[in-house]
Amino acid sequence: MLTLTDNVVILVLVMLASLLLLVCLNRIWPVPTRRSEGDLIGWQLSVLGTTYAVVLGFMLYTAWTNFVAAELNVNLEANALRNTFRLAEGLPAPQREQLQTQARAYADAVVTQDWPMMARGQIPEGSHEVNEKMWRTLMSIKAASSSESTAADHALSELTTLTAHRRTRLLQSVSKLPVVFWGVLLAGGTLTLVSASLFGSVKPRVHAFMVFSTTLIVTLVMLAIADVNQPFRGWVHVSDYAFVRAQEYMR
């Protein structure tokens, strides 16, 4: 995944490439001879730019929506873990101590194992093992009173929620935009910038600024999509803060 330095380097290289393309076009195909094609190029740029703007905006919205969904899912998973820890207070003594110890171990495994592995694009297993132990602990409960039975039922419900959110987190950690979508973004961006460079203008500085600004906004949006495309990787990623807070609470 891209780092902040990678983003800056790519942005600078693309900006330089677009300005170099404009300079080369002006030498190979002088502006006065291109001016006669202005109507055709302007029409093409208008249609192409509008179509690409819609595609680019939709891709950014989709990537950001997936990122926010992953962040919400992590918070819900951590909340279910804290609820399970609280409900353990109403269980029989052996299972109460076991479940609380396992809840702390789950949070530790998520912070120290899951997040580093997801940042490398790997599927973590540490929290899965602790989750299985939590299930065995709850299923071994033999309630001696109605309050213990109620606590066990609610703890099972919270553990079910915890398990479901964990599975969703693992799926979200490996999900990304298909390659074909990146092909559409790159092809559309290239065609839009080339069309903007082809436009003939009597004011070269204004034309250069137009190409510069168009390249800047297109590149920034595409980098933003790349940064949030995989929610648990790169310099823009979902934080483990919810589980760090859960660790502090359960201590």
What's the average pLDDT block by block, 10 residues per block, for the chain (251 residues)?
A: 89 93 83 62 74 93 96 97 95 93 96 95 91 95 90 95 96 91 93 81 79 92 94 94 95 83
What's the number of domains the chain is made of?
Answer: 1
Place of tokens 């001879």: 33
Sign of CA dihedral 58, 225, 233, 77: negative
C-alpha 155/C-alpha 85 separation (Å) is 8
Question: In the numeric block, which tokens belong to residue 141?
Answer: 């409960």
CB 156 within 8 A of CB 141: no
Instruction: Give 73-121 pLDDT, tens digit per residue.
Output: 999 999 999 999 999 999 998 899 999 999 999 999 999 999 999 999 8
Question: In the numeric block, which tokens belong to residue 170?
Answer: 């693992």
**Residue 251: its H or E element:** none
Question: In the numeric block, which tokens belong to residue 206?
Answer: 């204004």
pTM for this predicted structure: 0.88
Which structural domain range is residue 25 located in?
Answer: 4-250
